[in-house]
Amino acid sequence: MIASSFLRADVLVVGGGMAAAWAAIGAARQGVSVIVIDKGAMGTSGVTATGGPGHWWVPPDRAAREAAIARQMDKAQGLAERAWMERILDLTWRHLPEIAPFYPFGSNGAGGPYVQGVRGPEYMRALRKLAIAHGVTILDHHPAIELLRDEDGRIAGVHAVALASGDVIEIRSGATILATGGCAFRSGLIGSHTQTGDGYLMAAEAGASLSGMEFSISYSLSPAWASTRTLPYFAARFFDEAGRELDIPPPDAGHSHLQALGRAMLEGPVLADLSDAPPVLEGLLRRIQPLTAAAFDRRGIDLFRQRFAVRLYGEGTIRGTGGIRIVDRDCRTEVPGLFAAGDAATRELVAGASSGGGAVNSAWALSSGLIAGEAAAGEAIIGRQRPAAVRGLGRAGFHPRRGTRAIDRAGAISTVRDRVLSYDRAFWRTRETLESAGHDLESVWTEVADHASGEGRDLVELREIAAMAATARWCNAAALARDETRGLAVRADRPDKDGALGHRLLARGLSQVEVIAEAPVQPREPQPVAA
């Protein structure tokens, strides 16, 4: 591929969400040059910018942190690591307040700031300003399309497309961090349109494995006409179109709650009723999730006094736990010179088999970003003089295996989305349904890999389709291999937990997907938490 221009940085961060911002800040603080490239505009793209994320926010009190870690270890169902939980609690507590020069924290009602819950749009704007204050260079609307590898076998940067012109830009780096977010398979989830698994695809092309991809069945409940956020619905009652109240378990029932909603939605419209919500919720919602209230205001619907139709929007690996495998405490991947952070990286280290929800997931994005940024900066300084020759690693969309021809792009996206997220498949996974989905997903991947080819902005779209198809194949194969029910990986035909499967599963490969067992996590003795 011929680039029209060249840039260089010690550290390159691919992505523009919360983890990418903290990674850039963490690297820049080490005195190295940092470039961020984002498919959208850093500060506005991604799911954080549309929500009101909380953080796993626990004071440095031994008893409080021990209790928080114990609760999270129980939810993780044997797949998380206590040491990682200790780290992200500490890093989040120490570093989240650093955005104060650019972010007006509210009051906690006791004379201090309310830090753990932030307003997404303002939070991301503050992170962008903080990154710029540390000298970070930001290239908006420059999606990465492939990783570059040098003669020593290290990742040496990316090729990206400048969307305004369609030109290819080559960006060389001493170390590269993938913070590209997860994959929602174009479900319509607010803020997720650009999150198509691009980082997963690029990492896999470089030889990385993915971990925890079976834990991908997660949904947001929102009004049927617009994806917003789920905050109000813990207080909801649900009715069918005829006005009969539905028997829906509470949200803390997890899969049973979603399954009951999915079953009802397969039968007809479902209406939510928030008339019993506590009065304080209305003010809280408008303060921390203003986009949720706005969707109702525009329709003239009183959110807390009128019933309205709802639907489930798939969140895939955004609120699931899977992602690129992390191999050490510095957020390195299996590929030399390549790091991963946030939703692009596996969250099993802190979430295990169950979603970390907003709080743990946000703390992971902040902490893994800082960790990866600092480690990448150190590695970039050591290896500033890298060999000059590089080669691109992209395949699907670049080099058709059988000859270029047009593919059914809309059909490919629809098939991928349906096989992963449709209620009848997702909530009642069985060997039969997974094998059937796997056959269809292989057909989509074969079509893309065999025939798709493009340039500029057209290539960006083809790479997104390839990434969604690849991600769906890994999710499906891992779900089939986990022949049990554990956390988010619920199998209707295997309702019990299997003690022999108390380990992580690694999915890898493109032409042929394979799933292998990672060595079981070795539990370590609890360590004292600093008072």
200 with 298, same domain: the answer is no
User: Is 64 inside any structural domain?
Assistant: yes
361 with 433, same domain: the answer is no
Question: What six digits make up the tokens of 3?
Answer: 């680039």
Query: What per-residue string of b and e applies to 138-165 under the rule 16 or more CB within 10 Å gives b?
Result: bbbbbbbbbbbbbeeebbbbbbbbbbee
In angstroms, rounded to a whole number, what is the distance separating the alpha carbons of residues 152 and 336?
9
User: Is 399 inside any structural domain?
Assistant: no
Tally of domains in the chain: 3
User: Is 509 inside any structural domain?
Assistant: no
User: Is 421 inside any structural domain?
Assistant: yes
290 with 209, same domain: the answer is no
43 with 176, same domain: the answer is yes
12 with 76, same domain: the answer is yes
Question: What six digits make up the tokens of 328?
Answer: 């050490």
Question: What stretches in the chain show pLDDT beneath 70?
Answer: 382-387, 520-531
Q: What is the 3-state secondary structure (H, E, C) of 385-444?
A: CCCCCEEECCCCECCCCCCCCCCCHHHHHHHHHHHHHCHHHHCCCCHHHHHHHHHHHHHH
pLDDT of residue 385: 65
Handedness of CA 107, 110, 111, 117 (dihedral sign): negative
57 with 120, same domain: the answer is yes
Q: Residues 280, 285, 287, CA angle at the centre, nearest 5°?
A: 100
230 with 197, same domain: the answer is no
326 with 197, same domain: the answer is yes
Report the CATH number that the domain containing residue 297 is assigned in CATH: 3.90.700
In angstroms, rounded to a whole number, what is the distance separating the alpha carbons of residues 163 and 378?
31
Q: Which of 329, 357, 392 is the last residue of a domain?
A: 392
136 with 273, same domain: the answer is no
pLDDT of residue 387: 64
C-alpha Rg value of the chain to the nearest Å: 22
Q: Which of 329, 359, 392 is the last residue of a domain?
A: 392
Q: Which of 291, 312, 333 is the last residue of a domain?
A: 312
Report the CATH number that the domain containing residue 475 is assigned in CATH: 1.20.58.100
User: Is 508 inside any structural domain?
Assistant: no
Express each pLDDT in 354-366 by its tens digit: 998 889 999 999 9
User: Is 504 inside any structural domain?
Assistant: no
pLDDT of residue 16: 96
pTM of the model: 0.94
In angstroms, rounded to a whole number, what is the distance separating the alpha carbons of residues 486 and 75?
10
Q: Residues 281, 284, 285, CA angle at the centre, nearest 5°?
A: 85
pLDDT of residue 529: 35
53 with 143, same domain: the answer is yes
| CB 1, CB 392: distance < 8 Å | yes
In angstroms, rounded to a whole number, what is the distance separating the alpha carbons of residues 434 and 216?
13
pLDDT of residue 524: 41
254 with 139, same domain: the answer is no
User: Is 325 inside any structural domain?
Assistant: yes
Q: Which residues contact 342 (CB under 8 A, 6 or more apart)?
A: 15, 17, 18, 19, 20, 23, 179, 181, 364, 365, 368, 369
Question: What six digits make up the tokens of 260?
Answer: 């009951």
Report the CATH number that the domain containing residue 61 is assigned in CATH: 3.50.50.60
Residue 303 zone, left/alpha/beta (φ > 0; ψ -120 to 50; rest)? alpha
**Strand-strand pairing, 210-211 and 323-324:** antiparallel
pLDDT of residue 453: 97
pLDDT of residue 530: 34
pLDDT of residue 226: 85
CA neighbor of 344 nearest in space, from 528, 142, 198: 198
287 with 346, same domain: the answer is no
pLDDT of residue 227: 85
In angstroms, rounded to a whole number, what is the distance separating the alpha carbons of residues 204 and 202?
5
**245: containing domain:** 220-312
The residues with which 311 forms a beta bridge, in sequence order, are: 222
User: Is 432 inside any structural domain?
Assistant: yes
